Structure 1
Amino acid sequence: MTRRLLLSYLVLAVLVLAALEIPLGYLYARGETSRVSQSVERDASMLAEVTEENIEKGRLDALPEVVGDYAERTGGHVVVTDTQGIVLADSDPAGRTGVSLATQPDIARALNNQPTVTTSTDGDGRDVLSATMPGSSGTTVRGALRLTCPLDQVGTRVHRIWGALALAGAGILAAVALVALCLARWITRPLRTLEAATTQLAEGQLTTPPDTTAGPPELRRLATAFTHTATRLQHLLKAQQAFASEASHQLKTPLTALRLRLENFEPHLDPRAHGSLEEAVGEVERLGRMVQGLLALARLENTATTPEPVDLDTVLAERAAMWEPLAAEQYVALDITGPPAGHVWAIPGALEGIVDNLLANALRVSPPSTTITLHRAPGTELHVIDQGPGLSEADRERAFDRFWRSSESHHDGTGLGLPIVRHLVDASGGTITLHPAPGTGLDARIRLRPATGHRGDAHWRGEDFGSHLPYRGRTQAAGRG
Structure 2
Amino acid sequence: MTRRLLLSYLSLAALVLLGLEVPLGFLYSRAERERIVTSANDEAASVASYAELSLAAGRQDALVARAVHCAERTGGQVVVLHADGTLLAASHRLSDTEERSLPSRPEVVAALSGRAATDVRTSTIGGVRRLSVAAPVGHPERAQGAVRITLPTQQVHGRVHRVWLGLGLAGLAVLTGVVAVAFAFARWAGRPIRRLEEATHRLADGSRPAFVQVTSGPPEVRSLAIAFNGTAARLEHLLASQRAFAGEASHQLKTPLSALRLRLESLEPDITRRARPGLAAAVTETDRLARLVEGLLAMARLEEDAATPGPVDVGAVCAERHRAWAPLFERGDVSLVLFAGSVGPVLALPGAVEQILDNLLSNALRASPAGSTVTMELRLHTPARRPFRDSRPCRVDLHVTDEGPGMTTEQRARAFDRFWRAPDAPKGGTGLGLSLVQRLAQAGGGEVTLHPAATGGLDAVVHLPSAEPPPHSPDHDSGTQGRPKRKAPALPA
* TM-score w.r.t. length of structure 1: 0.88
Q: State the partner residue of 1:162.
A: 164
Give the C-alpha shift of residue 241 in structure 1.
1.4
**Cα offset, 1:219, TM superposition:** 2.4
Aligned equivalent of 1:43: 43
CA displacement 1:157-181 (0-9 Å, x = unmatched) = 1112112211221221122112211
Q: Read off the aligned partner of 1:34 and give its amino acid letter.
A: E
- 1:365 corresponds, among 360, 364, 367, to 367
Code of the residue aligned with 1:413 in structure 2: it is G
DSSP-derived class of the 1:383 partner: strand
Q: For residues 6-405 of structure 1, what are the structure 2 equivalents within 5 Å?
A: 6-92=6-92, 94-95=93-94, 99-100=99-100, 101-114=102-115, 115-123=118-126, 125-206=127-208, 208-337=210-339, 339-379=341-381, 380-405=396-421
Shift of 1:208: 4.9
More deviation, 201-210/69-78 = 201-210
In 1, Cα distance between equivalents of 2:369 and 2:122: 106
Between the aligned partners of 1:366 and 1:96, the Cα distance in structure 2 is 117
Q: Secondary structure at the match of 1:272?
A: coil
CA contact (8 A) 2:209 2:236 kept: no
- State the shift of 1:338 in Å: 5.6
CA deviation after TM superposition for structure 1 residue 44, in Å: 1.7
Partner of residue 435, structure 2? 419
* Letter of the structure 1 residue corresponding to residue 103 of structure 2: A
Mapped contact 1:204–1:302 kept (Cα < 8 A): no
- Equivalents in 1 of 2:469, 2:456: separation in Å? 38
Q: Is the 8 A contact 1:430 1:448 kept in 2?
A: yes
Residue type at the aligned position of 1:377: R
Describe the shift of the 1:109–1:338 C-alpha distance in structure 2 as closer, same or farther (beyond 3 A): farther
Letter in 1 for 2:9: Y
Q: Partners in 2 of 1:326 and 1:428 — Cα distance?
A: 29
Find the counterpart in structure 1 of residue 390 from structure 2.
Answer: none
What CA distance in whole angstroms lies between the structure 1 residues aligned with 2:90 and 2:192? 78
Query: Following the alignment from structure 1 to structure 2, what is the Cα–Cα distance between the partners of residues 52 and 382?
Result: 113
- C-alpha separation in 1, matches of 2:378 and 2:188: 53
Partner SS, residue 335 of structure 2: strand
**1:126: how far off?**
2.4
Secondary structure of the residue that 1:229 maps to in structure 2?
helix
Q: Give per-residue Cα distances to partners, 1:70-102, cap 9 Å, x unaligned.
A: 22222121111112222211112x447994432
| Cα 1:38–1:206 shift into 2, 3 Å | farther
* Distance in 1 between residues matched to 2:47 and 2:357, nearest whole Å: 109
**Residue type at the aligned position of 2:114:** N
Give the 3 Å change call, closer, same or farther, for CA 14–371 of structure 1 in structure 2: same
- Letter of the structure 1 residue corresponding to residue 131 of structure 2: L
> Structure 1 residue 442: deviation in Å?
0.5
Distance (Å, rounded) in 2 between the aligned partners of 1:14 and 1:226: 37
SS at match of 1:446: strand
Contact 1:44 1:132 in 2 (8 A): yes
CA distance in 2: counterparts of 1:9 and 1:108, whole angstroms: 58
State the Cα distance separating 1:203 from its structure 2 match. Answer: 3.1
Aligned residues: percent identity?
A: 50
Structure-1 separation of matches of 2:66 and 2:333: 129
Q: Could you say what the CA RMSD is over the residues aligned between the two structures, in angstroms?
A: 2.1
Q: CA deviation at 1:405?
A: 1.0
Contact 1:132/1:144, CA 8 A, preserved across alignment: yes
Give, in whole Å, the separation in 1 of the partners of 2:411 and 2:144. 116
Distance (whole Å) between structure 2 residues aligned to residue 34 and residue 206 of structure 1: 75
CA distance in 1, matches of 2:11, 2:57: 68
Task: Say whether the 8 Å CA contact 2:347–2:464 is kept in structure 1.
Answer: yes
SS in 1 for 2:130: strand
How far apart in 2 are the matches of 1:338 and 1:89? 111
Unpaired segments of 5 or more residues in structure 2? 382-395, 471-493
After superposition, the C-alpha distances for 1:420-444 in whole angstroms (9 at most, x for unaligned) are: 1111111111122111100310111
- 8 Å Cα contact 2:114-2:139 kept in structure 1: no
Report Cα offsets for 1:47-74 as digits up to 9, x if no partner: 2232233224422122112222222222
**1:406 is paired with a residue of what secondary structure?**
coil
Say which is worse superposed, 334-343 or 150-159, in terms of deviation. 334-343
CA distance in 2, matches of 1:414, 1:77: 110
Q: For 1:340, what is the secondary structure of its paired residue?
A: coil
Question: Aligned partners of 1:228, 1:150: CA distance in 2, in Å?
Answer: 77
Give the structure 2 partner of residue 430 of structure 1: 446
**Residues 158-207 of structure 1: CA deviation (Å, up to 9, x unaligned):** 11211221122122112211221121111111222222222222333337
Q: Separation in 1 of the partners of 2:335 and 2:51?
A: 126
Q: What secondary structure sits across from 1:226 in the alignment?
A: helix
| Contact 1:197–1:206 (CA under 8 A) maintained in structure 2 | no
Distance (Å, rounded) in 1 between the aligned partners of 2:354 and 2:27:
81
In the other structure, the counterpart of 1:451 is 467
Counterparts of 1:26 and 1:285 in 2: how far apart (Å)? 95
Q: Secondary structure at the match of 2:454?
A: coil
For the residues of structure 2 that align with 1:453 and 1:82, how far apart are their CA atoms? 97
- Offset of 1:238 from its aligned partner? 2.0
Structure 1 residues 131-140 or 225-234, which shifts more? 225-234
* Range with bigger deviation, 247-256 or 33-42: 33-42
Taking the aligned partners of 2:16 and 2:338, their CA distance within structure 1 comes to: 72
The 8 Å contact of residues 82 and 144 in structure 1, kept in 2 or not, is answered as yes
Q: Number of aligned pairs?
A: 452
Aligned to 1:116, the other structure's residue is in SS state coil
Give the conservation status (yes or no) of the 8 Å contact 2:131–2:152: yes
